[in-house]
Amino acid sequence: MFEIKGLSVNYGGIEAVRDISFTVEEGTIVTLIGANGAGKSTTLRTIAGLVKPRTGSISFMGENITGKDPSYIVGKGITLVPEGRKIFPDLTVMENLRIGAYLRSDSIEDDLEMVFSLFPRLRERSWQYGGTLSGGEQQMLAVGRALMSRPKLMMMDEPSLGLAPLIVRDIFSIIRRIKEEGVTILLVEQNANMALQVADMAYVMETGRITLSGPGNELIKDEAVKKAYLGK
């Protein structure tokens, strides 16, 4: 469904991503794990069209989307939940969700209902300003906002960042539920343990390269991964 071939990205003068290739199968959860500065976020930002790649190709559902504008890519059904949530603090929860559906011209009532059933907390707070929500609620809002564009592929950049362990568990169970709704998920995480548990397929990135890959439940047992990322 989604394929990256030989992608290299320069970011602020540094070669942040070097010749990586991977595929994402429809209806699966794929995760990219790795340390700070490994190039995971840059990869996602490039797919979303926020950064232009130097070389390589990105294709989605058979179409080459390399170097296209973000609005085009969102319109094609790829959406990004940015790192650090980046909700709109001075818009209400409802307005945040409506912005998520900005490119759509059809009725969004069903999708609002779907988001509110996933996150009942957001319904209670729909009139509140985004900036007044707690960290966990903001993450829910960021996910809900992304779902409003009715994505086929949802990319999440460190959804567990800065959240309490219990809330992280909630977020991951929601990721599973979103997958059951038929959305393919590409997940970037530093919390390798959680990420590998939910992932169907996992790639390990180091200094801009993919060094290891395999199904999540196999990598979680891999000695090298254990040593480097799981702290065991």
- Interface contacts to other proteins, rule CB under 8 A: 48, 50, 69-71, 73-75, 79-80, 82, 86-91, 95, 98-100, 102-103, 145, 149
Indicate the residue among 5 and 123 with the shorter CB distance to other proteins: 123
Indicate the residue among 151 and 208 with the shorter CB distance to other proteins: 151
For the CB of residue 1, give the shortest distance to other proteins in the complex, in Å: 20
Determine how many CB atoms are found less than 10 A away from the CB of residue 3.
15
Determine how many CB atoms are found less than 10 A away from the CB of residue 14.
12
Contact indicator for 25, 201 with CB cutoff of 8 Å: yes
Indicate the residue among 17 and 51 with the shorter CB distance to other proteins: 51
Determine how many CB atoms are found less than 10 A away from the CB of residue 31.
26
For the CB of residue 105, give the shortest distance to other proteins in the complex, in Å: 10
Question: Which residues face 107 on adjacent strands?
Answer: none
For the CB of residue 114, give the shortest distance to other proteins in the complex, in Å: 18
For the CB of residue 82, give the shortest distance to other proteins in the complex, in Å: 6
For the CB of residue 225, give the shortest distance to other proteins in the complex, in Å: 30
Indicate the residue among 47 and 196 with the shorter CB distance to other proteins: 47
Q: Which position has the token pair 């009725």? A: 107
Indicate the residue among 157 and 189 with the shorter CB distance to other proteins: 157
Alpha-carbon distance of 122 to 57, in angstroms, equals 38
Question: What are phi and psi for residue 172, nearest 5 degrees?
Answer: -70, -35
Q: DSSP secondary structure string, 58-98? A: EEETTEE-TT--HHHHHHHTEEEE-TT----TTSBHHHHHH
Q: Which position has the token pair 């599973």? A: 176
Determine how many CB atoms are found less than 10 A away from the CB of residue 212.
16
Indicate the residue among 71 and 173 with the shorter CB distance to other proteins: 71
For the CB of residue 102, give the shortest distance to other proteins in the complex, in Å: 6
